[in-house]
């Protein structure tokens, strides 16, 4: 009798370039992994551009009061990345253990979006950690694709429930019905969706793959100012 290959659990890959952003995404990553019965993977990327800037002669450390607190170097910045990686791995292990989830961790040099694209498999969920600049209003925001998958809407509803947050759907002018109980806003263009998103303070954003271009995920996180989740297309 031929044994069928075992199906790999869906991974929630939490990527960040610093511990502060990673920490902001851990609760969301745990909530999503529990809903999916999946596994967590943490990824701390040593951003090439940050290391390069740190090696410039005029690079300085700026303290909380805006005062320069000494010079930088590429090696000093790499040491900071290593410290953040250790803190990220330790916190991820604690959170995954408390939730009884499988987990793994990696630290790599490169560019965050590129490395995430390299390690994510079909059906995996990529979560960009992002520390909020202001207090969150607590919503989970779902961005469906024009011809969206109803399963992603159901997942958004379950994620919001797991996090104890209300759900808001920012959709186009046609299609993409909102789950029962969700606040639905229909907006005429993708630009209008981004303007509206910039005015909100969500706890997390779940964007269907067809609702955002692959290269725009980082910009989406900067606009939303919160952790952003995108599923890697299955096909």
> Apex CA 163: angle with CA 95 and CA 126, to 5°?
65
| In contact, 39 and 76? CB cutoff 8 Å | no
- Go through the domains of the chain in sequence order and give each one's CATH number: 11-231 (3.40.50)
Both structure tokens of 181: 């109980």
Please report the DSSP string for the chain in residue order: -PPPPPPPPPEEEEEESSHHHHHHHHHHHHHHHHHHT-EEEEEEEEEHHHHHHHTSTT-EEE-TTS-EEEE--HHHHHHHHHHHHHHHHHHHHHHHHHTT--EEEEEEEE-HHHHHHHHPPTT-EEEE----SS-----EEEE--TT--HHHHHHHHHHHHHHT--EEEEE-SSS-PPPTT-EEEE-SSHHHHHHHHHH---SEEEE-GGGS-GGGHHHHHHHHTS-EEEEPP--
Q: Residue 25 and residue 88: Cα distance in Å, rounded?
A: 11
Q: Residue 76 and residue 60: Cα distance in Å, rounded?
A: 11
- pLDDT beneath 50, residues of the chain: 1-2, 4-5
Greatest extent of the chain over all pairs of C-alpha atoms, in Å: 70
Provide the pLDDT for residue 52: 66
Q: Residue 205 and residue 220: Cα distance in Å, rounded?
A: 9
Q: Residue 62 and residue 64: Cα distance in Å, rounded?
A: 7
pTM: 0.86
pLDDT, tens digit, for every residue of 57-106?
A: 655 555 555 555 556 677 888 888 999 999 999 999 999 999 999 999 99
């Amino acid at each position: 009798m031929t044994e069928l290959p075992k199906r790999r659990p869906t991974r929630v890959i939490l990527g960040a370039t610093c511990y502060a952003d990673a920490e902001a995404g851990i609760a969301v990553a745990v909530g999503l992994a529990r809903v999916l019965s999946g596994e967590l993977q943490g990824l701390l990327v040593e951003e090439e551009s940050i290391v390069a800037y740190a090696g410039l002669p005029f690079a300085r450390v700026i303290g909380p009061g805006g005062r320069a607190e000494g010079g930088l170097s590429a090696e000093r910045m790499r040491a900071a990345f290593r410290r953040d990686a250790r803190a990220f791995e330790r916190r991820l292990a604690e959170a995954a253990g408390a939730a009884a989830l499988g987990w793994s961790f990696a630290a790599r040099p490169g560019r965050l979006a590129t490395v995430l694209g390299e390690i994510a498999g079909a059906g995996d969920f990529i979560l960009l950690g992002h520390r909020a600049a202001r207090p969150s209003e607590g919503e989970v925001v779902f961005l469906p694709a024009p011809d969206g998958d109803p399963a992603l809407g159901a997942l958004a509803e379950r994620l919001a429930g797991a996090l104890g947050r209300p759900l808001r759907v920012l959709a186009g002018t046609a299609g993409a019905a909102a789950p029962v109980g969700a606040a639905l806003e229909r907006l005429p263009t993708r630009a209008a969706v981004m303007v509206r998103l910039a005015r909100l303070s969500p706890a997390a954003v779940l964007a269907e793959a067809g609702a955002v271009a692959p290269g725009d995920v980082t910009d989406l996180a900067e606009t939303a100012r919160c952790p952003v989740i995108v599923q890697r297309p299955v096909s």
